[in-house]
Amino acid sequence: MLKSYYKLINETGTDEAGRGCLAGPVTAAAIILPENFKNDILNDSKLLSEKKRELLKPIIEEQAICYGVTHIYPKKIDEINILNASILAMHKSIDKLTTKPEFIIVDGNRFKPYKKIKHECIIKGDSKFLSIAAASVLAKTYRDAYMEKIHKEFPMYNWKKNKGYPTKEHREAIREFGLTKYHRKSFKQLPEQLKFPL
């Protein structure tokens, strides 16, 4: 059973999705849940089926005190690296909260201080705490929706299914068709170096 970290303060949980992908943005969400929020299905988004994530998304959005979601796109990822881009996405998501958080809990082990608000990094926090789990579901569903949208522009990569992750199918499509504007040029797409097709 997931729980809240603190109960008497405005705690925001934040998490990202898409960090290990070859294409598309890294997406983060931050959320403040009400003290009495409960949901028996909610868990780390990676442990939930797509159907359950889509079921949870409107419930989370409706019951949250506030939330924010941010995409950081490949060009910026290539400029500042994926770790900094992930933290930037989290910061920008916290910026969007209409209630100021008093404490931030972060999934993982890396974060940068945000406006002098105390924070704690929690490894596997998305399977331990409600607000991080809720943020993980929002980050994942918003990113998946974006990848399905750009799939229509480049269907040969099948982003609708692989969401930009380095599957065998995705790598074979890169080998055949090259890189697009949505690919992260700083990532090792294939063992050999690829250049943007002219």
The reported pTM is 0.91
All residues at 6 or more sequence positions from 72 whose CB lies less than 8 Å from its CB, including other chains: 25, 26, 27, 28, 85, 86, 88, 89, 92
Amino acid at 57: K
pLDDT at 156 over 50: yes
Note the pLDDT of residue 198: 43
Give the span between the Cα atoms of 141 and 17, in whole angstroms.
9
Q: Please give the annotated binding residues, written as ranges.
A: 15-16, 107
- Indicate the pLDDT class of residue 43, thresholds 50, 70 and 90: confident
Q: Please give the annotated binding residues for a divalent metal cation, written as ranges.
A: 15-16, 107
